[in-house]
Amino acid sequence: MLKPLRKAVLPVAGLGTRFLPATKATAKEMLPVVDRPLIQYAVDEARAAGIEQFCFITGRGKTAIVEHFDVAYELERTLEMRGKARELAELRAQQQEPGSIMTVRQQVPLGLGHAIWCARSFIADEPFAILLPDDLMQCDISCTAQLAAAYRETGGNVVAVEEVPMERVNKYGVIDIEKDMGRLVSVKGLVEKPPIEEAPSNLTIIGRYVLMPEVITHLAKMEKGAGGEIQLTDGMAKLIGHQPFHGVRYEGRRFDCGDKIGFLEAQIAFALKRPEMAAQVREFLKTYS
């Protein structure tokens, strides 16, 4: 029987150099889109997929992330005294169950594959989701929930994929397609950040995965790949042929919030989805065209 998907790993150790000086004293995952930090969107998305346990792979200077998910007793008390019921309810709704979040420090930035390997005790022998909080998803059905459904359907590894213009494939993990079935694509190979002329397709991996725990065995070999880093993509590639491996053309939109333009676009797109501000945002946008 298929093991239920209950765990998620969220790598948050990156320095966020592209957002300096904003990220000098705070984590890039704490940058807000409208009124909630990026990390909150990722956690909410995972919870909507039935995830119960979270492991943040952190590093120095990332304590704000941990604080964000703690009970802010003084704040709650002050809101209570001031009769701010709506704000209080909002804070409490986001409260995670005690013991559901753990953190592991990556210590040295050796790559995404290494970050995931750091979560090996947390993962143990269960399937797990990975969410890269820089990739902000706007989907009617949580992107991780779409992957969870595909995991139950295929019984193996699934990664969210999308087509990008060929000239940008060198920024992503790229799929070598075995069979294209539309929403699902069976995978015969994976390459991390290939030179454009060597890319097997323009179907790229975005920062959402559901993987089987065996990937850890491959990551443990600490083999360096693209950019001299231990790449998750290389570890995943070793699973192909031994376990089912599929790409899922998810329904929704992705915003690359690791990039300033993507981050700005996300602000607008998420504000336009908020009934209390959409009309005003549309109005002021007109003044810029």
C-alpha pair distances (Å), 115 with each of 17, 122, 144, 220, 275: 18, 12, 19, 11, 38
Ranked by CB distance to ligand G1P, the top (closest) residue is 173
Nearest CB to ligand G1P, comparing residues 146 and 231: 231
Count interface residues toward ligand G1P (CB under 6 A).
13
Beta pairing class for 245-249 and 157-163: parallel
C-alpha pair distances (Å), 287 with each of 15, 27, 31, 37: 35, 33, 26, 28
Q: Please return the burial class of 257, using the count of CB atoms within 10 Å of its CB with bins 0-12, 13-18 and 19+.
A: buried
- SS3 percent helix, strand, coil of the chain, rounded to 5, is 35, 25, 40
Site for ligand G1P in 125-154 (CB under 6 A): 132, 135
Listed ranges 25-33, 57-65, 199-207, 238-246: which one lies at the site for ligand G1P (CB under 6 A): 199-207
* Options 192, 199, 210, 237; binder of ligand G1P; rule CB under 6 A: 192
Tell me if 234 contacts ligand G1P by CB under 6 A.
no
Nearest CB to ligand G1P, comparing residues 45 and 192: 192
* Options 16, 133, 207, 247; binder of ligand G1P; rule CB under 6 A: 207
* Residues 107-126 as x/- pattern, contact with ligand G1P by CB under 6 A: -----x--------------
Closest residue by Cα to residue 226 from 198, 203, 201, 246: 198
- Would you tell me which residues interact with ligand G1P (CB under 6 A)? 112, 132, 135, 172-173, 192, 204-207, 231-233
